[in-house]
Amino acid sequence: MRRTLRRVLLTALVLGCLLAVAGGWLGLRGWQARGHLENAASLARELSQQVLDGQTGQARRTLEALQQQTGAARSRTGDIGWRAAGSAPYAGRSMVAVRELAAGVDELARRAFPALVELNPQSLLPTSGRLDLAALRGATPSLVEADTVVREVRDRIVGLPTSGLAPAVRDAVARFRAELDRLVEVTTAVRRSAALLPTLLGDNGTRTYLAVFQNLAEPRATGGIFGAYAVIRASKGEVKLVKQGSATELNTYGRPPVPLSKELRALYTDLPGIYPADVNLTPHFPTAATLYREMYRRAGGGTVDGVLATDPVALSYLLNAIGPVQVPGHPTLTAPTVVRTLLSDAYRRLDKPAQQDNYFAVSARAVFDAVLTRPVNPRAVAQAVNTAVTERRILFWSAHPAEQQELVDTRLAGVLPEQESVHNVGVFLNDGSGAKLGYYLHRSAELTVGDCRADRSRELHLRITLRSSAPRSGLSETVRGLGLSGDPYTARVLVSVFSPVRGAPLAARLDGKPKPMGGGVERGRRVGVLAVDVGPGRTRVLEVGLLTPPNAGGTVELWLTPGPTPWTTRVSSAPACGR
């Protein structure tokens, strides 16, 4: 009996020692893999900068070093011992997750990044007013492959279970997922650019576009009224600005030139189809673009292939990349001052609307010419455009259905989606005072996910703060406008709160007191509409409760009307109901 017990104890001791050795070996391997992955992360950041700066030779060397690190990390976590440990009852999930992380990074380094390294960023930018379409077409297959690989890796990592993981591994998975989401945005945008730009820029026939300048001094749901416009012609990659004008030159209509749905008419009456300045009372940019295009055609301008919209803040981002731009007879446009120059100073210097419209037109031409002709840093331009698109300050609609379908799920399209995986709450502002006081309006929004109801719908709590820095006197007649609020220095803001799809607004309070809401429906979303008057120096606080559809997740996003200054926002999500 004693001998049997001793044998059992000895066997247990030997097994324990073997497990301890194996655990130490796996721990050492894991530590080594972590070191390789940390080195790879540093090299990846360096590689990104070199690619965007066009330093192809250095980027190739960096990529080679990166592949060595990712390959080492993958080999450290992909052998028989590590795979066997993956079936262990406690640490196994973490071991599998680390192996998948290392394999995913290595796939990116070997199959996706080489195409991006060989891409010349200058090929995505015009030189002397022309884009090299042949170079762009040649790069397309490898860019499509890179985007495919990134998506495959993202899907694999998203499929990893996060429950039961060691905290450090769980955090690494979460960070890698976030980085992959951002990388997918980049590779998708590059792939779409390479695929669409040749056609958009006249490779298969001349294209004509209407570019409109959103004047943020008079808010509309997509940003500001469509003021000055330009006609852009593209042929075989060569881009020219061929005509400029003002929305005031377009006709007004007794009935909309494009039929409006009953839902739109219930929310906005017929105004979007009567006045060119009101086409974007709706936040759905394709509706606004379609109306404006038809108004331009009926005014004798001809048929265009698409509509592009931008605003002064987007111009400030571009000026950061290309430097100051001189405007003959007017102040030089610079990144720090262009918003004030165009939305405030112009109304003090120039008394007549025709002078103001002409100034906006010549300013737009000057910036357009500079972007097309100056040598620029691709990284700086890419950052400027990406920021503007993210903030929905650059919008584009194509009259060609196949092209529009390719863009429809991007922020560039400005499409108010009728289906969503994350609950979107929209806060859209329209001027109700007939004035240009939007420059003085400062905005903030807080959105908090509240409790679950019995049907697993969620209550959302939205808090909007509007503050006016307008003076009490001294503004020009153009800025004071019609004074429909009763005081020419008080801005009347029509706030439209869009619920998530199949959700609903519940109730509203203004400065702590109940406030009745008008209502309607647009693209599957219930809308609450309130008029808020904001006098000089005043702050108004609007609180709105909303409801999500049943079985809702706890992740929410805000979609906001871009303004002259950024919104201050805070979004507090929560776990899905039942978790």
Q: Which residue has the higher pLDDT, 26 or 273?
A: 273
Q: What is the pLDDT of residue 274?
A: 95
Degrees to nearest 5, angle at CA 311 with 308 and 312? 145
Q: Which pTM was predicted?
A: 0.85
Contact in structure between 394 and 529 (CB atoms under 8 Å): no
17 in a structural domain: no
Assess whether pLDDT exceeds 90 at residue 157.
no
Residue 2 — pLDDT band, cuts 50, 70, 90?
A: very low
Among the listed ranges 85-94, 203-212, 467-476, which one has the minimum average pLDDT value?
Answer: 85-94
Assess whether pLDDT exceeds 70 at residue 81.
no
Q: What is the pLDDT of residue 48?
A: 72
3 in a structural domain: no
Task: Assess whether 179 and 247 both reside in one domain.
Answer: no
Task: Assess whether 152 and 265 both reside in one domain.
Answer: no
Average pLDDT of every residue of the chain: 86
Q: What is the pLDDT of residue 10?
A: 41
Mean pLDDT of 237-253: 89
Residue 91 — pLDDT band, cuts 50, 70, 90?
A: low
Q: Which residue has the higher pLDDT, 463 or 59?
A: 463
Assess whether pLDDT exceeds 80 at residue 89.
no
Specify the CATH number for the domain of residue 510. Answer: 2.60.40
Which residues neighbour 83 within 8 Å (Cβ) at sequence distance 6 or greater?
99
Task: For residue range 193-208, list pLDDT tens digits in order.
Answer: 888 889 999 999 999 9
User: Cα–Cα distance between 140 and 203 in angstroms, integer?
Assistant: 15
Q: What is the pLDDT of residue 19?
A: 35
Q: Which residues pair with 570 in a beta bridge?
A: 446
Residue 124 — pLDDT band, cuts 50, 70, 90?
A: low
CA dihedral 5, 6, 12, 18 (to 10 degrees): -160
Among the listed ranges 111-125, 210-224, 414-428, which one has the minimum average pLDDT value?
Answer: 111-125
Task: Assess whether 130 and 267 both reside in one domain.
Answer: no
β-strand 207-220 against 306-310: which pairing, if any?
parallel
14 in a structural domain: no
Assess whether pLDDT exceeds 50 at residue 15.
no
- Domain coverage including residue 471: 420-572
Contact in structure between 558 and 447 (CB atoms under 8 Å): yes
415 in a structural domain: no
Task: Assess whether 389 and 455 both reside in one domain.
Answer: no
8 in a structural domain: no
Specify the CATH number for the domain of residue 368. Answer: 3.40.630
User: Which of 26-30, 155-159, 257-261 has maximum average pLDDT?
Assistant: 257-261
Task: Assess whether 330 and 433 both reside in one domain.
Answer: no
153 in a structural domain: yes
Q: Which residue has the higher pLDDT, 379 or 329?
A: 329
Q: Which residue has the higher pLDDT, 254 or 529?
A: 529
Rg, C-alpha atoms of the chain: 28
Task: For residue range 407-463, list pLDDT tens digits in order.
Answer: 998 899 999 999 888 899 999 999 999 999 999 999 999 999 998 888 888 899 999
Among the listed ranges 129-143, 146-160, 403-417, which one has the minimum average pLDDT value?
Answer: 129-143
Among the listed ranges 118-127, 291-300, 380-389, 481-490, which one has the minimum average pLDDT value?
Answer: 118-127
Task: Assess whether 424 and 279 both reside in one domain.
Answer: no
User: Which of 30-34, 123-127, 306-310 has maximum average pLDDT?
Assistant: 306-310
Q: What is the pLDDT of residue 83?
A: 56
538 in a structural domain: yes
| Listed residue (400, 424, 384, 193) closest to 286, CA to CA | 400
Residue ending a domain, choose from 349, 374, 404:
404
| 271: exposed, middle or buried (Cβ count in 10 Å: 0-12, 13-18, 19+) | middle
Which residues neighbour 416 within 8 Å (Cβ) at sequence distance 6 or greater?
282, 283, 284, 426, 498, 522, 523, 525, 559
Residue 72 — pLDDT band, cuts 50, 70, 90?
A: confident
Among the listed ranges 44-53, 149-158, 523-532, which one has the minimum average pLDDT value?
Answer: 44-53
Task: Assess whether 126 and 234 both reside in one domain.
Answer: no
Assess whether pLDDT exceeds 60 at residue 7.
no
User: Cα–Cα distance between 541 and 538 in angstroms, integer?
Assistant: 10
What total of structural domains would you count in the chain?
A: 3
Task: Assess whether 228 and 344 both reside in one domain.
Answer: yes
Assess whether pLDDT exceeds 70 at residue 21.
no
Q: How far apart are the first and last CA of the chain?
A: 53
User: Cα–Cα distance between 478 and 350 in angstroms, integer?
Assistant: 10
| C-alpha separations of 504 from 243, 426, 448, 527 in Å | 45, 12, 15, 7
Task: Assess whether 455 and 499 both reside in one domain.
Answer: yes
Number of Cβ within 10 Å of residue 57's Cβ equals: 8
Q: What is the pLDDT of residue 563?
A: 97
Q: Is the Cα dihedral 13, 17, 22, 24 positive or negative?
A: positive
Task: Assess whether 50 and 166 both reside in one domain.
Answer: yes
Assess whether pLDDT exceeds 80 at residue 8.
no
Q: What is the pLDDT of residue 33?
A: 66
Assess whether pLDDT exceeds 70 at residue 495.
yes
Q: What is the pLDDT of residue 168?
A: 77
Q: What is the pLDDT of residue 5?
A: 39
Contact in structure between 30 and 98 (CB atoms under 8 Å): yes
| C-alpha separations of 3 from 6, 8, 11, 568 in Å | 5, 9, 12, 76
141 in a structural domain: yes
Q: What is the pLDDT of residue 82?
A: 58
Mean pLDDT of 138-142: 83
Residue ending a domain, choose from 341, 370, 404:
404
Assess whether pLDDT exceeds 80 at residue 12.
no
Task: Assess whether 289 and 215 both reside in one domain.
Answer: yes
Task: Assess whether 252 and 147 both reside in one domain.
Answer: no
Assess whether pLDDT exceeds 80 at residue 57.
yes
